[in-house]
Structure 1
Amino acid sequence: MTYSTPEIHPTPTDPLAAYGPLVARRTPDSFDDRPYETFTVSPVTPTIGAEVSGIRLTGGLPDETMSELRRALLEWKVLFFRDQNIERTEHRAFAERWGSLEQHPFFKYTHPGQTETDVATLAKDAMTGGVENNWHNDVTWHAFPSFAAVLRAVEVPPVGGDTLWSDTGAAYDLLPATIRERIDTLVAEHDWINSFGKHMPPDTVEMLRLQFPAVQHPVVRVIPETGRRVLFVNLSFTQRIVGMSPTESDELLRMLYRHVQRPEFQVRLRWQPNTVAFWDNRACQHYAASDYFPARRVMERISIVGDRPVGVSS
């Protein structure tokens, strides 16, 4: 894409209450946007989300296909694959092609019966309602947050239970220039204590706190493969902006959270059995709609280990 970001029209009292066209560039001008040759890509929105057809997700995909999938992930941030009747072992083998699998340290405390720590079984029903209905990037409380996640639908409710993703690069691009300049060099603190910690006994929290202290990440993260700047703060795990008063920090974070929630930056997936979603956790946030209780919804997620976030001034 080579068009310029359209002019937006902020109100005098709220710089983010803009109206008019809100279409960001999907990728930087330097991005390699050649057609895909080993599968078919069907966009769902202008900037985020595409359905990929013509391949079956296994660990044995050819290197050429893997290279094109990496390019597609950078372009669309989240990829959807329908009719993937794959086994748990195939799910794991595909994820392993992207890097080391994340061993989630908290699932055995917050998901009773969870024996594997690299495959998270997220089972919700009349006894256990969904609680993932907050916009977030996964495990930003870690020094090395997840690179990506592969989520497979095992059992879906008759209606409801959709997942939404928001393009945090598009959200950054369509901030007013004065706000982008203000946040480009800021750092935020991330922690798990107010999320996962709420469901743990105090002695467990005390033990895990030594292993996983609060961490600091840039408010604006740079995706190394593309140079794209993305917002990297989220409602679930970001605690504060370093160096700001609590009032100023809360005000700025609330403004950024509200901006990320604009529908123009989002894609929504209606799950079907054997649907797989694969997303870049660095470049988008996600939200699992909890509107299906007491129906049953079972998903299996595998996350891939990421690297330390790099900021604008790094």
Structure 2
Amino acid sequence: MRIEPMVGALGAEILDIDLSAPLPPDTFAAVRRALFDYQVLVFRDQKLTLDQHKNFARQFGPLHIHPYILARPLDGHPEVLRVVKEKDDRRVFGEKWHSDVTFLTRPVLGSVLYAVETPSKGGDTLFANMYAAHDALSPAMRTMLEGLSAIHETPVPEVDPETGRPLEPLRLVNRSGEHPVLVVHPETGRKLLYVNSTYTTHFKGMTIEESRPLLDYLCQHATQAAFTCRVRWAPGTVTFWDNRSTQHLPINDYHGERREMHRVTVET
């Protein structure tokens, strides 16, 4: 296997590797180390069944089952999140900058996204480095943020936004988690900024209105171009990202074409 860094901020392509079979111990250790070094790993030209996809991810930890019915799990594979944008759809799943499911009390390790069908152009995904976002804050700002925790929540939809019909069965519950604004990564020991515009609603002990100016600034700061890389997809591309130290954004620029991805998430 070979590692080729993508850009200065984060990301690497892993070449000459087959993810369809269990990784030998030395290869597994190298991939795991690369994940925490580069934060986003891209593997090209893979051919994975659903079970092979899950088995690759399971080598890094137990698999997470997404709590939302809107996530469209595949029959018989509740760990696989089917992310689809049909030709006539105007919205994409996860359409704002975010880290996955930060409303959970215990953050997930990362996600493995496999491209099944991609448009002829467009549909890329941006990733942002939250270590870099932390390090670029002024010392005075970091000192102020050290004592803050943030509340991460997700609202419970009453209707399916795609059909307008009530969700049946209504098995969703609102989730809320509290996390420090500045977090120490458990694997690397590095500090990172841990807020995002999708799930972070306010700071603990402050109202939403009081929190908004600083929260908006931090979210904009965290996703500036200098901290990002861009993944271009093709059928068979696999991307594995460290969810605790990155944010990501799907680019919705392929109207009239279909895109289908399968995502498996690894718990800590």
Residues 59 and 96 in structure 1, CA contact (< 8 A), matched pair in contact too: no
**TM-score normalised according to structure 2 size:** 0.91
Q: Is residue 70 of structure 2 the alignment partner of residue 110 of structure 1?
A: yes
Q: Secondary structure at the match of 1:119?
A: strand
Residues 73 and 79 in structure 2, CA contact (< 8 A), matched pair in contact too: no
CA distance in 2: counterparts of 1:208 and 1:86, whole angstroms: 31
**Residue 274 of structure 1: aligned partner:** 236
Tell me the C-alpha RMSD between the 2 structures: 2.0
Q: Secondary structure at the match of 2:116?
A: strand
Residues 159 and 167 in structure 2, CA contact (< 8 A), matched pair in contact too: no
- How far 1:111 moved relative to its partner? 4.3
**Residue 16 of structure 2: aligned partner:** 54
The one of 147, 156, 162 aligned to 1:185: 147
Q: Is residue 206 of structure 2 the alignment partner of residue 244 of structure 1?
A: yes
- How far 1:59 moved relative to its partner? 4.5
CA distance in 2: counterparts of 1:199 and 1:180, whole angstroms: 40
Residues 59 and 97 in structure 1, CA contact (< 8 A), matched pair in contact too: no
Q: Secondary structure at the match of 2:126?
A: strand
Supply the AA of the counterpart residue of 2:220.
R
CA distance in 2: counterparts of 1:213 and 1:112, whole angstroms: 19
CA distance in 1: counterparts of 2:199 and 2:3, whole angstroms: 33
Supply the AA of the counterpart residue of 2:79.
D
**Residue 99 of structure 2: aligned partner:** 137
Q: 1:152 to 1:197 in 2, by over 3 A?
A: farther
Residues 163 and 287 in structure 1, CA contact (< 8 A), matched pair in contact too: yes
- How far 1:202 moved relative to its partner? 7.7
Residues 131 and 290 in structure 1, CA contact (< 8 A), matched pair in contact too: no
Residue deviations 1:145-198 (CA, integer Å, cap 9, x gap): 22110001111000100001000111110111111111122111111116x666
Q: Is residue 81 of structure 2 the alignment partner of residue 120 of structure 1?
A: yes
**Residue 134 of structure 2: aligned partner:** 172
Q: 1:219 to 1:59 in 2, by over 3 A?
A: farther
Q: Is residue 35 of structure 2 the alignment partner of residue 68 of structure 1?
A: no
CA distance in 2: counterparts of 1:293 and 1:58, whole angstroms: 32
CA distance in 2: counterparts of 1:192 and 1:213, whole angstroms: 6
Please identify which structure carries the higher strand content: 2
> What is the aligned residue count?
262
Gaps of 5+ in 2: none
Q: Secondary structure at the match of 2:37?
A: helix
**Residue 303 of structure 1: aligned partner:** 265
CA distance in 1: counterparts of 2:21 and 2:205, whole angstroms: 45
Tell me whether 81-90 or 148-157 shows the greater mean CA deviation.
Answer: 81-90
Q: Secondary structure at the match of 2:134?
A: helix
**Residue 79 of structure 1: aligned partner:** 41
**Mapping of 1:210-225 within 5 angstroms?**
212-225=174-187
CA distance in 1: counterparts of 2:38 and 2:72, whole angstroms: 35
Residues 112 and 240 in structure 2, CA contact (< 8 A), matched pair in contact too: yes
CA distance in 2: counterparts of 1:265 and 1:101, whole angstroms: 29
Q: Secondary structure at the match of 2:63?
A: coil
Q: 1:64 to 1:292 in 2, by over 3 A?
A: same
Q: 1:113 to 1:247 in 2, by over 3 A?
A: closer
Supply the AA of the counterpart residue of 2:258.
R
**TM-score normalised according to structure 1 size:** 0.78
Supply the AA of the counterpart residue of 1:253.
L
Supply the AA of the counterpart residue of 1:167.
N
> Which is bigger in relative contact order (C-alpha 8 A, separation at least 6)?
2
Q: Secondary structure at the match of 2:57?
A: helix
- How far 1:132 moved relative to its partner? 2.3
Supply the AA of the counterpart residue of 2:24.
P
Specify the structure having the higher radius of gyration (Cα): 1
Q: 1:59 to 1:217 in 2, by over 3 A?
A: farther
- How far 1:258 moved relative to its partner? 0.6
Residues 72 and 82 in structure 2, CA contact (< 8 A), matched pair in contact too: no
**Residue 30 of structure 1: aligned partner:** none
CA distance in 2: counterparts of 1:153 and 1:96, whole angstroms: 18
Gaps of 5+ in 1: 1-38, 307-314
Q: Secondary structure at the match of 1:80?
A: strand
Q: 1:113 to 1:64 in 2, by over 3 A?
A: closer
Q: 1:261 to 1:112 in 2, by over 3 A?
A: closer
Residues 50 and 80 in structure 1, CA contact (< 8 A), matched pair in contact too: yes
Residue deviations 1:252-276 (CA, integer Å, cap 9, x gap): 1100011012100000011111011
